[in-house]
Amino acid sequence: MNKALAILFKREIETIGSGRTDTGVHATEQVFHADLPDSIEEETIMNKMIGLLPKDIVVNQIKLVSESAHARFDAIRRSYEYHIHFRRSPFHVNEYCYLPKKPDFETINKACQLIFGKHDFTSFSKVKTSVNNFNCQIEQAEWQVEDEKAIFYETANRFLRGMVRALVGTLLDVGYGKINIEEFKKILLAKDRRRAGQSVPPQGLYLCEVRYPETIFIK
């Protein structure tokens, strides 16, 4: 993105993203901010960048924001999805996680009720991470199952490094009967990553939405 903007505006431009994802994770929506020249045509920039960016990156929208706006620190809500398929397919193999056996999603969704609200998610965070605290406010956490696939939807004010993948892996342990709901609760309260399950593969994870307060946008 920096390279494309530098070619377009003939000067170095630094972009700041709303956050990072692990290698292999997708984003149906990602947000960045950058300081651009005042005289810009949003539609023109998007059209020109089509030919400057790799085929797996597309700019869908440009909005003017206040000078102090920050893509990472001003975000108030983020949403992720994790996609699982139960039938193996040779198509789009890097876009979902394949599992040969369905877990008990009714029990898994009962366990999801335990993480609603504000909690310390140390048990589901990578150990080496530079954050002031591990508290997150969960607004949505549920699985929806349709035929041979299942999608986990989660929305929170913030996410820790590796949090969604570790959480999904531990919830699947509940669904496969490796741990019960009470044990899942104890893992959450333990604040110990060693107690939680293994992280699921990155290719099933999607960053889907990043939201900001309306006050940062210039009408």
CA 150 to mean position of chain CA atoms: 17
CA dihedral 34, 133, 169, 127 (to 10 degrees): 90
Active site residue 74: no
Q: How many C-alpha atoms does 180 have within 13 Å on its Cβ side?
A: 1
The helix/strand/coil state of 84 is: strand
Single out the residue of 167, 160, 169, 103 nearest to residue 141, CA to CA: 167
The CA radius of gyration of the chain, in Å to the nearest whole number, is: 19
Nearest to 210 by CA among 56, 108, 60: 60
Q: Which of 22, 56, 120, 147 is catalytic?
A: 22
| Strand spans (E) along 20-122 | 26-27, 32-33, 77-85, 97-98, 117-120
Which residues are designated catalytic? 22
